[in-house]
Chains A and B, each alone.
Chain A
């Protein structure tokens, strides 16, 4: 019997919506108001994301120190599909200006408005003149002309082009670029910890987490540190960093400190970028000490434990190298790698080629894999598997970064192996 995943996803494109991307690009940017030109329900989805992010931050032991900015919807209804929704959008803008007195308005356009053919850009230009305030709009039209990241990067690019001008730069201060759960998320927290250890101060996190009036301060940074990732995240953020360098002359670092090897390289790169090689070398020694001490403790439990890696995510979103390094460091016995039924033949070939760089790996199909899983003491997987007897650890789209991120991952593997409870899924 083939391994079955809990949820089935077949889409390769149009997997997400641009509107939440627009929202996240300014979600905590005090002074801005966002309007979704959409049915009310689309804004409720963004609100759901927002609540989830809040409680995730609380569970992570962090505390948000800012509330989200107002999010309005033009509340398109069925009748607007005949007569258009422009009038509705204009009324909503008028309300937003009167009620919140924003310094800037941002409009995201839904697929519904795209199908109807509303000219949102013209509405934005008229509103800008009428209310004498900047109005940014993006015609991504929900999932029609882009996805989450097109919304996010589109608005970020507009913010850079309209509101950032070169200023004298201050040594020892950097700006973080990207989201990943904001300043209270594990990514920014860990990067900030490592930077602070090198004597570098974080000025803020751009775009979504600086007040509108503070945006010009981005130009005073000595460097931009990209909170990168894989695939579109990396490409998009690198482009924005490139744009900032071009317009403001600020250098940037767009490396991804995921896994222990990459974290060490990242520390050295930061040192070189900011001319703090000595500080970086000192921090590296401290981090290695910390890392080695914890690793030794885990090895007592993890060594030679039979492990299966199940992969069903595209290579652009999941590069197996970091997980394979963790498996090697913990001396787990990787008895096989299962390719789940989530690929088409071309995508599968790409992942197989990548895994072929490690000739010692034994690859299995989903059909063959179920038997293999019976032997496994631990399953590391990109997709939740239906078999509830398995001890699964979910490999997230955005893994934790830095020394702490890697140690958190190892700690989870250690705990799951210590556990006497047979099955279940854990998230890192």
Chain B
């Protein structure tokens, strides 16, 4: 049993993740005009679809399923895949790329996805991949699909261009992921860089083909972007930087400064000027808010989310916006390379889901004031234990207690406004609720 000594079991009902099937589809779905075919049971397909629909409403029209029955594990899934492909062709669908992925059980039976796809004589390019929960969760699926897709389309003959960067590690299927991408692109452009591509978050296949133009690859969410950064370093010689995410005003400035160390920015002053303006604006409004609503204080601040996000956000929230006795961070998975302290030194405790889980019972019994920046998974754990008097803001999926219709970046200067607004509004709402209960 020795090789299993380091396995961390624990209650899955205290954690959040998806299947790699979802993560892989998320990367591809972040590329416009692509479609995905899942070769796996309806159940696995449907749960992946429901997750993806939170990030992009029209997913059902781009995300298809072969929907084999149980006999497929004996006789193979070829007839189901061919039938699904025939249906897509009949509907006249001609995506720029079709991504065909098998679920875990379908991967195990050894069907030759490439051979089957070749038989279908598809009118579009395709990439195939064995996937599913056996290879891991969202991040494993995302990174594996990223490598497959980029490997298929990368043009190695392109020349490096001055001041061009790529952003690696973004997804539209983290909460407000696309909005974050757009804010980072805006900031980088304002600082004088040219952003070639953001794979998995809005860039076309044509843009991905020319990833080699970049002088520098900026890795944001390390758990998603690092493998592709390493691959591009190997194939194109592009250096990369593990920059994390730019939360907060000071955090945004530090983020740009860090990038600037690797590739100096021609127009950093413009961003700093905007940062100064936003800082002044927020300070003034928050002074007013304090006059009315009092000090925003949490005896304990808990942040739970995807790892890079939770860590970078923790650093910004504590240093810029919320005073607390203790900051507890929970990364929904481990980081592949950096130690957590590389992104956050302001935390009192750092938990990694599946290795050392947050002690939810203790948290529910904690008598002090609580601010939770997490998802509906964490808030439901507290509600179920009879604790409802905490300030709650969603920063990750699932987010079942609110809807998201407008652009709301959480990163950068626009994100600073959004986050401060979110946290303060939740605090004021909580004050009113307490008043009603009294």
Interface residues of A (CB under 8 A from B): 6-17, 36, 38-48, 50-52, 54-55, 58, 64, 66-68, 70-73, 75-78, 80-81, 87-88, 90-92, 95-96, 99, 110-112, 114-116, 142-145
Contacts and interface: CB of A to CB of B under 8 A. Distances in A.
Contacts of A99: 9
A72 B354 CA distance: 11
A280 to B, nearest CB: 36
A88 to B, nearest CB: 6
Nearest to A113: B105
Contact of B105 (A51, A87, A112): A112
Interface stretch (B175-183, B317-325, B376-384, B407-415): B376-384
A15 B43 contact: yes
Interface in B48-67: 49-51, 60, 64-65, 67
A43 to B, nearest CB: 4
Nearest to A147: B43
28 contacts: A8-B65, A11-B42, A11-B67, A15-B42, A16-B42, A38-B133, A39-B104, A41-B20, A41-B133, A44-B18, A45-B44, A47-B16, A50-B13, A51-B376, A55-B380, A68-B384, A72-B9, A76-B133, A76-B134, A78-B135, A91-B4, A99-B9, A111-B105, A112-B108, A112-B134, A143-B41, A143-B43, A143-B105
Counting chain B CB atoms within 10 Å of each CB, which of A13, A52, A75, A81 scores highest? A75
B384 A14 contact: no
Given A8-B64, A41-B17, A73 B42 contact: no
B11 A72 contact: yes
A51 B109 contact: no
A68 B13 contact: yes
Q: Pick the 10 closest A-B CB pairs, nearest first.
A: A39-B133, A41-B133, A41-B19, A43-B12, A111-B105, A55-B400, A14-B69, A67-B384, A11-B67, A70-B11
A354 B46 CA distance: 30
B251 interface: no
B314 interface: no
Nearest to A49: B47
A88 B398 CA distance: 29
Given A40-B12, A40-B137, A42-B133, 15 more contacts: A7-B49, A8-B60, A11-B69, A12-B69, A13-B69, A17-B43, A39-B134, A41-B18, A41-B137, A51-B400, A54-B380, A58-B401, A73-B12, A75-B9, A78-B135
Contacts of B73: 111, 114-115, 144
Contact of A116 (B1, B108, B383): B108
B41 A17 contact: yes
A112 B133 CA distance: 9
B10 interface: yes
B70 interface: yes
Contacts of A80: 134
Contacts of B12: 36, 40, 43-44, 46-47, 71-73
A392 to B, nearest CB: 15
A80 B376 CA distance: 33
Nearest to A88: B4
A15 B381 CA distance: 30
Contact of A71 (B13, B16, B132, B133): B13
B70 A115 contact: no
A15 B49 CA distance: 14
Given A55-B401, A77-B134, A70 B49 contact: no
Contact of B398 (A41, A48, A75): A48
B3 to A, nearest CB: 8
Contacts of A91: 1, 4, 7, 9
Contacts of A68: 13, 384
B385 interface: yes
Interface in B113-128: none
Given A11-B69, A40-B137, A51-B377, A64 B9 contact: no
B68 interface: yes
A294 to B, nearest CB: 30
A71 B11 contact: yes
B210 interface: no
B1 A87 contact: yes
B360 to A, nearest CB: 9
Contacts of A52: 400
A23 to B, nearest CB: 10
B2 to A, nearest CB: 10
Contacts, number: 160
A6 B53 CA distance: 12
B135 A142 contact: no
A143 B384 contact: no
A55 B376 contact: yes
A328 B44 CA distance: 40
B15 interface: yes
A180 B335 CA distance: 40
Contacts of B87: 8
Contacts of A47: 12-13, 15-16, 377
B277 to A, nearest CB: 39
A15 B354 CA distance: 30
Contacts of A42: 19, 133
Contacts of B7: 75, 88, 91
A245 to B, nearest CB: 32
A112 B15 CA distance: 22
Nearest to B71: A14
A18 to B, nearest CB: 10
A363 B173 CA distance: 42
B402 to A, nearest CB: 11
A279 to B, nearest CB: 36
B70 A145 contact: yes
B331 to A, nearest CB: 16
Contact of A111 (B20, B41, B50, B380): B41
Given A8-B64, A15-B43, A48-B398, A72 B10 contact: yes
A14 B65 CA distance: 13
Nearest to B375: A51
Given A51-B400, A54-B380, A55-B401, A40 B133 contact: yes
Contacts of A11: 42, 67, 69
A51 B380 CA distance: 7
Interface string B58-101: 00100011011110010000000001000100000000000000
A100 to B, nearest CB: 8
Given A91-B1, A142-B105, A39 B10 contact: no
A123 to B, nearest CB: 13
Interface string B240-254: 000000000000000
Contacts of A54: 380, 383-384
Contacts of A144: 70, 73, 105
B134 to A, nearest CB: 5
Interface string B272-297: 00000000000000000000000000
A48 B47 contact: yes
Nearest to A38: B133
A91 B8 CA distance: 10
Given A115-B105, A116-B108, A143 B70 contact: yes
A87 B5 CA distance: 11
A236 B104 CA distance: 29
Counting chain B CB atoms within 10 Å of each CB, which of A44, A70, A78, A99 scores highest? A44
